[in-house]
Every structure is written in C-alpha cells, then in structure tokens.
Structure 1
C-alpha cells in the first residue's frame, strides 16, 4: 500500500481530490493548504516585495548582494554579503530608511548584518583552439629553438593542439 494512499491513515480524508503528492505542485498551492502555511506565505510575499523595493532603491552592486530579513518591532534586518558592502549600506542607511518609509513600509530603523554568501563557482578556464596549420607552425618553431623553457612550452602547446585536432578529425 502506498504511504500516500487515502486509506493509509484511518479517519483522514484528502482535502482536494486533484492533490497528488507525487506530482510537482505550485508553491502558492502548497502554502494555501493550512493556516500555518498561509502565514508563512504572507511572510514570504512580504520579503519578496521588500526585495523588489530594495532592488529599485539601491545601486546594482548593492542590490545584488543585500538580502532583506523580516521586520520585527519596526526593525528591518538587512544582510550584506561582506563587510565592505555592510559599511556602504550603513552610509546609505538614513536615505534608505526614508525611502522605505515613503513606500509604506512600517520601518523605524535598520539593522545591518553581514551574512557571507557562498562562493560562486569560478568560470571554467578558456580552452584555446588552434588550427592544424598553427599547431604545425608552433611545432616547427619549437624544433628550431635551442633547449629552453620557452622551447619546451611551445612544444607542449603544439603537441596538445595537434592531438586535439587529430581527435576532431577522427570524430568527423
């Protein structure tokens, strides 16, 4: 018997006959199912709306690295990605607070905190492509040079690109 079966727990009924827990569901639908989730949805919508306002009020470099928290007792928590951004945000605090109040947010003060964000994955190293003629010209140059680090580097580069070109030729 499936653990999701309507008969798996006596006395429980499915609220929505279209509900199937094995299928993906819209987050809004899930959050509308119970009162506790409705409160959570309201908080999520508030933070999303606050994020949109911050994105329009802050410069791009700050907006992309600042996350709003919840408003509690008139204090809005803002989380900056690192100390330098937090310091810059503190300089903008009076103007930002006034702008948020003007937009209707019940905020009396800001609490600026640092919450380091995870490092973004670095871009993969570039893979240079060289024509077969270029690779053979490098190989010829390497052969004419006296033994040196430059000659070794050119020979490695030529052999790497000649191997890459021969692999491409075999795939065709």
Structure 2
C-alpha cells in the first residue's frame, strides 16, 4: 500500500464534467441551475425586444414577487429603459414571463477604452496618383479636397523616409 492509495478513489472522480451534470446532482444546485437558465432566457428575450445599444448594456436580475429587476450600465441607459418600460413589460408578459412590474437599477461597469481611431495610410504612389487626379480636375470643392488629401498623405509618407 503506497501513500496515495487512500486518495485513489477521489482521483477517478476528478475527471472534467459538464456543468449541467454537476448542477443537476443536488436540490440546491438544481435551484441554481433553474435560476441560471431563467436569466439566460431573459437575456435572449431582452436582446430581441430592446435596441442593440440597450440590450448589450442591460442585465436582467431575478423575478421576485412579480417584479423583474433590470440593471443598466449607467444613468442615461437607465433613463432610456424607463421610457420604454411599459412597452417592454407588455412584450415580456406576451412572451409568458410572470412579470407585473419592472424595477430599473444602475450597476456601473468599468469604462472600456474606446478603440483607437483608424488612421488611413497611403502609399507614395497612391498620394502621387491622387495629386495627378486633383490637377486634372477643374477648380471645384472636390478638386480642392483631393489636393488637400494628396498633400497631407504625401507629407506623412515623406516624413517617414
């Protein structure tokens, strides 16, 4: 008998298991699973009922005593959610949700840095072609815009040399 023999019965039980299987084993986990499934179904319905900018920034809570709590990412979204509250409540009821009222609360999220603005880069050949095109056009706003763009891109490629 080696020093690990008493743990061998636990070693075989340590294989990876699907979450659904684990959550179905006990009553407490079964209740948790039902809650998770309810939230997931609510998220799907909210994604269909709300505009994209609202749906991606609103998280549903649990339904308690006929009241569904919705958490908005910030105050402006909460205000907009309150404006569409009656329509949303009616739509949720039509889909079979046992909801009589909605409570809107704010749950602040960390601010995500906006993506860096795109910075177009033009090759020297492209800038030269743009410059030639602007020279071939009669004076007009388009001709002036093309000349300015060609000059700006021509300078940026010259500076890198």
Q: TM (normalized to structure 1)?
A: 0.62
Q: Distance in 2 between matches of 1:114 and 1:106?
A: 23
Does residue 1:61 correspond to 2:64, yes or no?
no
1:76 match: 68
Query: Could you list the runs of 5+ residues in structure 1 that have no partner in the other structure?
Result: 9-18, 134-153, 163-172
Does residue 1:47 correspond to 2:39, yes or no?
yes
1:116 match: 108
How far is the alpha carbon of 1:116 from its aligned partner? 1.2
How far is the alpha carbon of 1:54 from its aligned partner? 0.7
Q: Distance in 2 between matches of 1:130 and 1:2?
A: 69
- What is the aligned residue count? 130
1:20 and 1:83, CA in 2 relative to 1: closer, same or farther beyond 3 A? same
Please point out which of 3, 28, 35 is paired with 1:36. Answer: 28
Higher percent of residues as helix: 2
How far is the alpha carbon of 1:91 from its aligned partner? 0.5
1:38 and 1:7, CA in 2 relative to 1: closer, same or farther beyond 3 A? closer
How far is the alpha carbon of 1:117 from its aligned partner? 1.7
Query: Could you list the runs of 5+ residues in structure 2 that have no partner in the other structure?
Result: 126-155
Does residue 1:104 correspond to 2:96, yes or no?
yes
